[in-house]
Amino acid sequence: MNFDINAIFQIAGIGIITAMIHTVLKQMGKEDMAHWATVIGFVVVMFMVIRLLDQLFQEIKTIFLFQ
């Protein structure tokens, strides 16, 4: 099993840090900045997941669909 376990911790870490940044910015009264921080964190994580999804689909195509 040779996959990169770090990605799991990266995603969890990004989530926790984003939640902290959101809370801090909200306390400072910058609501819209807090929402932007959340959205940016979400997009970063989404890129990681989509890259994995692409990898899986390529693998399934080469295995099952003879391409």
Residue 28 DSSP code: T
Angle at 60 between CA 59 and CA 62, to 5 degrees: 65
Looking at the Cβ atoms of 28 and 60, the one nearer to another protein is: 60
Cβ neighbours of residue 32 closer than 8 Å, sequence gap 6 or more: none
CB of 7 to another protein, least distance (A): 6
- Binding footprint of another protein on the chain (CB under 8 A): 1, 3, 5, 7-8, 11-12, 14-16, 18-19, 22, 38, 41-42, 45-46, 48-49, 52-53, 55-57, 59-61, 63-66
